[in-house]
């Protein structure tokens, strides 16, 4: 029966190959972290859009309240002066 021979790559080649594996694992880990961060950012973005919509409603309600009290007027937001439109 013939003896089985085993060939091996050099230690430097093995090190280089293992460096590729390590780098791939680091990249995949960073990619996962980035995806989690993106998810959090998207949630924050949606919350901000929701807050903006709520603010628009409050501002519209307030504008209608002022119109009921003062009629159709323009308000200088710096001084509070009212002028007819």
Contact present, 63 and 71 (Cβ < 8 Å): no
Q: Can you tell me the mean pLDDT for 77-83?
A: 92
Q: What is the pLDDT of residue 84?
A: 84
Say if residue 1's pLDDT is above 90: no
Q: What is the pLDDT of residue 53?
A: 98
Number of DSSP helices (H) and strands (E) in the chain, helices first: 1, 2
Q: What is the pLDDT of residue 54?
A: 98
**Residue-wise pLDDT tens digits, 25-73:** 999 999 999 999 999 999 999 999 999 999 999 999 999 999 999 999 8
pTM: 0.67
Tracing tokens 């949630």 back to the chain, one arrives at 43
């Amino acid at each position: 029966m013939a003896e089985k021979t085993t060939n091996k790559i050099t230690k430097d080649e093995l090190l280089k190959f293992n460096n590729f594996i390590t780098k791939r694992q680091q990249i995949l880990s960073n990619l996962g972290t980035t995806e989690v961060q993106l998810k959090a950012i998207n949630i924050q973005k949606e919350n901000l859009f929701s807050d903006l919509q709520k603010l628009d409603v409050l501002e519209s309600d307030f504008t209608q309240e002022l119109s009921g009290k003062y009629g159709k007027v323009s308000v200088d937001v710096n001084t509070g002066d009212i002028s007819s439109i």
